[in-house]
Amino acid sequence: MFKRLHYQQGFTMFEMMIALLILSVGLLGIAGLQTRGQQFNHVAYTRTQAVFLAYDLMDRIRNNSDAAANGNGDDGAYAIDCTAAAKALDNECNINQCAPARLVTYDLTNWCIAVGNALPEGSAILTWAAATRQYSITLMWKEERTASAPTVSQIWTLQL
């Protein structure tokens, strides 16, 4: 007369496998987002370091503006290629004890070392345009941590 209905209790193995598959795809997506987030964070960090370095050098040039504008004639006292510059830290000078020409060497030596330390494969070129009395600061570095990553460069101009 009366049929007894048997209701299913619990999950089947197939349902558990599907739930596990959905969970693992979601976790892989989150891991991918974390990885990309770290890469973007590193790119932002290196660009921020480049800005800090450029403004640091501009402040150094402004502080020693007489030597900066009149140092080496048409070349400008602060004109340098940091890839070819000496890499020994200079601690023998400070603003209160140095002649302007010696302060230029001190600033450039320490700044070029800071560029190499702060930026991955970092280098810098400073050029002086006597006609316009402008320094052009070009910073170059590898933004990504791969061997095939392109070199990124940014240019700042300082008018004396």
The 3-class SS string of the chain reads: CCCCCCCCCCCCHHHHHHHHHHHHHHHHHHHHHHHHHHHHHHHHHHHHHHHHHHHHHHHHHHHCHHHHHHCCCCCCCCCEECCCCCCCCCCCCCCCCCCHHHHHHHHHHHHHHHHHHHCCCCEEEEEEECCCCEEEEEEEEECCCCCCCCEEEEEEEEEC
Pairwise CA distance, residues 29 & 143, whole Å: 24
pLDDT, tens digit only, all 160 positions of the chain:
567 776 666 668 888 899 999 999 999 999 999 999 998 898 899 999 999 999 999 998 888 877 777 655 556 778 888 876 556 666 677 556 777 778 888 888 889 889 988 998 888 999 888 888 888 999 999 887 777 778 888 989 988 8
Given a contact cutoff of 8 angstroms between Cβ atoms, the answer to whether 139 and 119 are in contact is yes
The CA-based angle 110-115-116, given to 5 degrees, is: 100
The whole model's pTM is what?
A: 0.76
The amino acid present at 81, given as its one-letter code, is: D
Summarised one tens digit per residue, pLDDT across range 20-38 is 999 999 999 999 999 999 9
